[in-house]
Amino acid sequence: MSAKVSTVILGATGSIGTQTLDVIYQYPSDFELQFITANTSVEQLKNMAQKYSISAIGIHSLSVSPPTCENVHIVQGRKEIADFIIHHSIHTVVFGSSGIEDYQILKEVYPYVQKICIASKEIIVMAGATGLLKEIQSKCTVLPVDSEHAAVYQLMERCPRDQIHKVYLTASGGPFYSQIDNVSTLEWDRITPEMALKHPTWNMGKKVTMDSATMANKGIELLEASVLFSLSASQLDVIIHPQSIVHAMIECVDGVCYSQNSWPDMRLPIAFALFYPEKKQIDIGKPDSFFTNLHQLSLYPVHTMNIPTIASAYQALQEGGLSPIVYLAADDVAVEAFLQHQVPFSHIPRIIQTSLDRFSQDSVDASNPVEQYKKLQNKIRHELVKG
């Protein structure tokens, strides 16, 4: 990069946001970080602004009081955040926030920026369902901030689409499915939130960690891969890979399979997105190649394991329409209910499947899918959790 790239991080206080800051400040001469935001963590956001000398911060939620912050411009509300990005000629926006709430920001800002680095699987799936994603991809560069999809992106640059037979997303398996020999003996109803939140490989937020435990995370990633790369359900598969070294594989029509491999560290896909199409060396605290101390790589096909959240994701893929959004809403409600001890662990995939069967018949409201999503959540919460 020859000149500093004007950059914004949405969700700077979360896991993706803090790791993005780490990557950026390994190369401070390459980026001009103009604006960082958070949903409600206002004090942490204020401290970040002071530490990194950032002149503007944004708060997504309207229900919290803004901090007192000298020499820092503060905006509050998603519309105001979008307006700031539009009016300041930002080159790169990193969507580090999770969930679907920032869909509207994406919809507003994409015509005015050159690169969107997006971590929210939910926003990508929703944008795919509404048709917005294709429009955005035609206007600017969209790069996934996700180890599997960043891997697929790089592999597809080397393997023409008409030569692809199958794309494989790898999954660590989380705390339960990574223990392949013990899956059949697990007492699913006795799993507690504390057990489900102990991920063996990745350090992530609660929602993503829970989704890894149920494998719904990989179900959402199937939906995401389909819309990001225009792949059908028959072209997508999932492999359990507990070591999390192989992030994706592409099998070509001639039977040759290519894989993308790296340490399981989110700073690597973040750096891929930020520096694309260049590559930079990133310090992740690993002095050696992963091959130096690697004893084995295990790969297990999920179709032999009958994982219900994966089966439901394929149903949503094949049905299209509102089904992917129903999958997202149902998973969100089910995880929330489990963490609040309202339902047992085994009910999470049941709620997702029942929701698909009951609520997928409506069409997508492309004008306001976030509101439609919230209404779906309320239906699922009242009819399938509290009912």
Dihedral angle sign, alpha carbons of residues 258, 263, 266, 267: negative
Q: Diameter of the chain by CA atoms? A: 62
DSSP 54: -
Q: Report, as an integer, the average pLDDT of 115-142.
A: 97
Q: How confident is the model at residue 143 (pLDDT cuts 50, 70, 90)?
A: very high
Q: How confident is the model at residue 215 (pLDDT cuts 50, 70, 90)?
A: very high
Instruction: Return the higher-pLDDT residue of 68 and 145.
Output: 145
Whole-number pLDDT of residue 289:
74
Provide the pairing of β-strand 73-76 with 257-261. unpaired
Q: How confident is the model at residue 2 (pLDDT cuts 50, 70, 90)?
A: low
pLDDT of residue 286 exceeding 90, the answer is: no
Q: How confident is the model at residue 56 (pLDDT cuts 50, 70, 90)?
A: very high
Instruction: Return the higher-pLDDT residue of 279 and 2.
Output: 279
- Looking at CATH, the fold of the domain delimited by 320-387 is given as Rna Polymerase Sigma Factor; Chain: A (1.10.1740)
Q: How many CA atoms lie within 13 A of 242 on its CB side?
A: 13
Q: Report, as an integer, the average pLDDT of 346-352.
A: 97
Which amino acid makes up residue 233? A
Say what percent of the chain tops pLDDT 70: 98
CB 109 within 8 Å of CB 82: yes
Residue-wise pLDDT tens digits, 173-197: 888 888 777 777 788 889 999 999 9
Instruction: Return the higher-pLDDT residue of 229 and 177.
Output: 229
Q: Report, as an integer, the average pLDDT of 244-257.
A: 95
Query: CATH classification of 5-144 is 3.40.50.720, yes or no?
Result: yes
Whole-number pLDDT of residue 296:
82
CB 264 within 8 Å of CB 19: no
Range name among 139-143, 179-183, 233-237, 259-263 with the lowest pLDDT average: 179-183
DSSP 66: P
Residue with tokens 């896991």: 15
Q: In sequence order, what are the beta bridge partners of 58?
A: 37, 75
Which amino acid makes up residue 265? D
Mean pLDDT of the chain: 93
pTM: 0.94
Whole-number pLDDT of residue 292:
72
The DSSP element (H or E) to which 5 belongs, if any, is: strand 5-10
Q: How confident is the model at residue 205 (pLDDT cuts 50, 70, 90)?
A: confident
Whole-number pLDDT of residue 160:
85
Distance CA 139, CA 80 (A): 22
Q: Report, as an integer, the average pLDDT of 3-21.
A: 95
Instruction: Map out the domains of the chain as residue ranges.
Output: 5-144, 150-264+289-310, 320-387
99 Cβ partners below 8 Å, 6+ apart? 120, 122, 123, 207, 332
Q: Answer whether 5-144 and 320-387 agree in fold.
A: no
CB 272 within 8 Å of CB 150: yes
The DSSP element (H or E) to which 121 belongs, if any, is: helix 121-130
Q: Report, as an integer, the average pLDDT of 296-318.
A: 89
Whole-number pLDDT of residue 304:
61
Whole-number pLDDT of residue 387:
67
pLDDT of residue 238 exceeding 90, the answer is: yes
